[in-house]
Structure 1
Amino acid sequence: MSTSTRTPLQVTWSVWKALFLREALTRLLSGRAQWFWLLLEPAFHVVYMTFIFSVVRVRHVGGIDTAIWLMMGMLAFFMFKRTWGQLTNAIDANKSLFVYRQVKPIDTVLVRAALEGIIMLFVIIILLSGLALLGKEVQPTDPLRLIGALWGLWLLGTGLGLMTSVATELIPEIGKIINLITMPLMWISGVMIPLTSIPQPYRDWLLFNPVVHGIESARLGFAGYYHTFPELDESFLFKCALVSMFFGLALHRRFALRMMMQ
């Protein structure tokens, strides 16, 4: 009598599917109207910042409508920030599953990254559809550039999440440092302040932040006539993303057993 055996790839795929379903149910149904709060956070930021810009009579930024400028900046930033934030706590939230030998710490991180990317894509589509209903032009002039920018920001968030998920397990106090870093990140990434208005040499310092290049590239992909800074370099975003992915995967390989035993 022959017995069927599954390949390691089939086992991994089954684990990912089960983890994805578990994470999706937890992320969307863990609280009352949980899905609504996923939309409310970026929408609230856009509304109140649009109101502030309207009070000071700023109708356009870089040649595009202020609401569009803010919306694309917020959505691109949240693609990065939410991915990074959710991955940082992925291992701690799934420790009970490590009793199953098929489940590894890196599985929980990668599955959560995929889920967060999908959720943010739906959030982007819904909020842009809302702007369209308000009479705004939401047809991107360069869809491939827009998708590439969002992809790069997601990769960067995944890479940093792989690193910090290990770091916070080994040294819990690092989580507090990460929170301190992320607090001013929205302001120094050009989400709510046009970087073209920042004088030199301070702007050059801010350009060492790869998130800046991703956000500006997303805006440029949405509106090809957008006036961004001449130093924009999308390749810098992907270089930083690949470096962070490499170190994140290396840390998971090095400390996988230790994290499963804690």
Structure 2
Amino acid sequence: MNRISVRSDVSIALSVWRALFLRESSARLAGARAAWIWILLEPATHIIFLMVVFGVVRHQVRQDANMEMFILVGVWGFFLVRNVAQRGMEAINANQALFSYRQVQPVDTVLVRATVEAFIYVIVGTVLLAALALLDIEVPPADPLLVLWSGFLLWAFGLGLGLMFSVMGTLMPGLGKLIRIVFTPLYFLSAVMYSVSSLPLGMREVVLVNPITHGLEAMRSGWFAAYHGEAHVSLGYLAFCALGTVFLGLAMHVRYATRLSAQ
């Protein structure tokens, strides 16, 4: 007598995520010739440029933080949020053909893309740290747990933005270009290349509205034992924004699931 095997929803979801992860990883790293080089080159060029600007042109030296590591943390953290959000925004349109399989939902593609991006940026960060270590620059963090927690919250905030942007970008074509433009001024308002404590009080209050700023400053505090950042930096605020955007993004996916699959 033949038995009919019934798979649980969790088992099906895990199988879908595994297949999507392999598909996204292959597309991300092997979609173009030497794609992995460009993934590494983008943050590296920003770091080198900022090192030149701050180290040579302005002769700026921080007493409480290594300038090379200070810049690396800022660039790496911002790019993590930006890339997770932007690539999550494109996930639904890029995987539209897969929605003919009822096991694959639009939200799955966003979640998996965000996870792939996290893996990639862990590797990118490791390579960049190794490169600085070869230059005899001290790279070990003073508080690794604070650094990891800050990085996770930045990733979660990028995931929440990606979930929301994927719905908005799919239902309103053309909005993606505007979202990409917004990330340009956000780069300068996220404390990527400066400490919040060095800003005038009025500008400081504006910059601290941005949750990314809190994550970058907290990560620097975890990296440098003597770093004196802004006293009002709060990982609780970043965690609240990350949780809020993820919840809102998931709610939007539930509300518009049928329309997203039928685009």
TM over 0.5: yes
4+ runs deviating over 4 angstroms: none
RMSD: 1.1
Q: Which moved more, 1:41-50 or 1:194-203?
A: 194-203
Q: 2 CA distance for matches of 1:194 and 1:62? A: 12
- Identity, in percent, stands at 42
Q: Distance in 2 between matches of 1:29 and 1:176?
A: 25
Give the structure 2 partner of residue 245 of structure 1: 246
Question: Cα offset for 1:57?
Answer: 4.6
CA distance in 1, matches of 2:87, 2:129: 23
Residue 233 of structure 2 corresponds to 232
The C-alpha deviation readout for 1:97-155, integer Å capped at 9, x for no partner, is: 11111110001010111111111111111110111111011110000000011000000
Point out the more displaced range, 175-184 or 118-127. 175-184
The residue that corresponds to 1:135 in the other structure is 136
Q: Indicate the larger mover: 229-238 or 190-199.
A: 190-199
Work out the CA distance in 2 between the residues paired with 1:58 and 1:6. 63
Unaligned runs of 5+ in 2: none
Residue of structure 1 in register with 2:167 after alignment: 166
Aligned-partner Cα distance in 1 for 2:158–2:208: 17
Q: How far, CA to CA, are the matches of 2:122 and 2:63 in structure 1?
A: 25
In 2: Cα distance, 1:81 partner to 1:232 partner: 20
Q: Does 1:93 align with 2:94?
A: yes
Unpaired runs of at least 5, structure 1:
none
How far apart are the structure 1 equivalents of 2:123 and 2:208? 29
- Counterpart amino acid of residue 185 in structure 1: L
Matched, 1:193 2:228: no
Distance 1:103 1:62, change over 3 A: farther
* Count of aligned pairs between the two proteins: 262
Deviation by residue 1:12-42 (Cα, 9 ceiling, x = unmatched)? 1111111000000000000111011111111
Cα distance in 1 for partners of 2:139, 2:55 equals 20
1:112 is aligned to 113
User: What is the 5 A alignment of 1:1-262?
Assistant: 1-61=2-62, 63-262=64-263
State the TM-score, normalized to the length of structure 2.
0.97
Structure 1 position 83, deviation (Å):
0.7
Normalising by structure 1, what TM-score?
A: 0.97
Where 1:101 maps in the other structure, the secondary structure is: coil
Name whichever of 240-249 and 189-198 sits farther off: 189-198
Q: CA deviation at 1:2?
A: 1.1
Q: Distance in 2 between matches of 1:159 and 1:39?
A: 24
CA-to-aligned-CA distance 1:37-73 (integer Å, 9 cap, x gap): 1111111111011011122353533621211110111
- Counterparts of 1:260 and 1:53 in 2: how far apart (Å)? 48
1:227 CA displacement: 1.5
Q: Does the CA-based 8 Å contact 1:213-1:237 persist in structure 2? A: yes
Decide whether aligned partners of structure 1 residues 23 and 120 sit closer, same or farther in structure 2, where only a CA change above 3 A counts. Answer: same
Q: Deviations over 1:146-204 (max 9, x none)?
A: 00110000000000100000001111132122122111111110101332221121211
